[in-house]
Amino acid sequence: MGEAQRAEKQKHLKDMQRTFQERIQQREKALQQLREAMESHKHSAQSAVEDSERTFTELICSIEKHRSEVTRWIRDKEKAAASQAEERLEQLEQEINDLRKREAEMDQLLHTEDHILFLQIFQALSAPTESADMPNIPFSSQFSFDGVRESVQQLRDKMEDFCKEELKKISDKDIVTWTRNDFLQYSHQLTLDLNTLEVRECLQFEVFSITG
């Protein structure tokens, strides 16, 4: 190999060396940018998780608060109706006792043979009672809290539908992800002299590295 040919080869080699140095710098820059992007992505995900946990915790607390309010309202209504019912029970029991007493007196009067006594007692027994009408009943055996239960179930269904709709919106949001092309955006194709075998082999190695 002559000196001229050696010098030419050395020139090509130095050009290749500079090219590879530039490519190393490009990839080091891309590597740093990728690491920074991954770290940012990691922090963003962690922040989203913490915010989601906090929001769902607040939502659970709010639902628990409303659950307690509904339970307390039902119990208050139950106690109020039960108190009225106890008063009616005592009234009914007293009226039954009074009616039974007068009914027994009537039965006894039916068997008396003293006409004067019969007329006297009959007049007393014929006097109207304080109230012949049935007292109002605060609730019947058919009364229930079915309406409340249905309302709560409707609330549950609406909340589930709302959550599904909002979660679908969240899942449909585009999250910035890195594709293979993004990873290679800093690795530009270099225009090299393909007349030498050394350059051709280097390009083949580079293509293999990228596609591999």
- The number of residues in the chain equals 212
pLDDT for position 136: 62
Mean pLDDT by 10 residues, the chain (212 residues): 80 91 93 92 93 93 93 91 88 90 84 80 72 59 76 91 88 62 45 39 41 40
pLDDT for position 193: 38
pLDDT for position 168: 87
Tokens of 181: 């092309």
Work out the number of other CB atoms within 10 angstroms of the CB of residue 36: 10
> What does the alpha-carbon distance between residue 166 and residue 93 come to, in Å, rounded to a whole number?
59
Question: Could you give the angle at the alpha carbon of 206 between the alpha carbons of 201 and 209, nearest 5°?
Answer: 125
- Residue 184's closest CA among 212, 163, 204? 212
